[in-house]
């Protein structure tokens, strides 16, 4: 079995129309959400062997603020292939991992992360958490999947079970949609 964590970047700032998408930083709500989720991820107890992140500013700030809030130093592997990657491309990155790696946390973007959950977790009605993802996979959401594989190269559709899903609003109601700044 392998463990896969997915952490969507926190809420970003859309106010500078001149900024490239890649360069958009987090807004105030995003910084708060990243910190809240960082503390939750640490408390959840999984020690991720490897952490991969999109190098986009909003993703980088998310994992850096999350680690700081958790009081942890997290060595992050920046991988440009994760920037706005499709589910297929994210799967390709995972299939390259060495078999000795038991757990990986990926920090990235939608729709790729959400679609990866849909690809890996069967839509057979046995996973109520999948239904929450179908509803929405908002910014700064954290998900954990157990993968029924021994080698990353065997990653394939339907091999996963979604065992943990937490949205920022689950931990702090002020981070919910009714408090959107946009």
Residues making up the annotated binding site for substrate are 58
Specify whether the CB–CB gap between 133 and 143 falls below 8 A: yes
Binding positions are 58
Question: How many Cβ atoms from other residues are within 10 Å of residue 86's Cβ?
Answer: 12
* The length of the chain, given as a count of residues: 182
End-to-end C-alpha distance for the chain, whole angstroms: 41
Cα maximum dimension of the chain: 46
H or E stretch covering 118? helix 112-120
């Amino acid at each position: 079995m392998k463990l896969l964590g997915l952490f969507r970047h926190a809420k970003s700032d859309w106010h500078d129309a001149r900024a490239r998408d890649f360069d958009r930083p987090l807004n105030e709500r995003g910084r708060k959400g990243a910190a809240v989720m960082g503390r939750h991820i640490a408390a959840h107890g999984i020690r991720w062997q490897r952490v991969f992140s999109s190098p986009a500013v909003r993703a980088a700030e998310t994992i850096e603020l999350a680690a700081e809030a958790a009081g942890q130093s997290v060595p992050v592997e920046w991988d440009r292939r994760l920037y706005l990657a499709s589910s297929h491309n994210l799967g390709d990155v995972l299939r390259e991992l060495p078999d000795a790696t038991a757990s990986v946390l990926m920090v990235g973007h939608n729709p790729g992360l959400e679609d990866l959950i849909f690809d890996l977790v069967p839509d057979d009605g046995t996973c109520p958490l999948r239904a929450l993802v179908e509803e929405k996979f908002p910014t700064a959401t954290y998900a954990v999947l157990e993968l029924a594989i021994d080698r990353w190269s065997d990653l394939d559709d339907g091999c996963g079970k979604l065992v943990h899903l937490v949205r920022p609003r689950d931990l702090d109601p002020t981070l919910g949609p009714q408090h959107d700044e946009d």
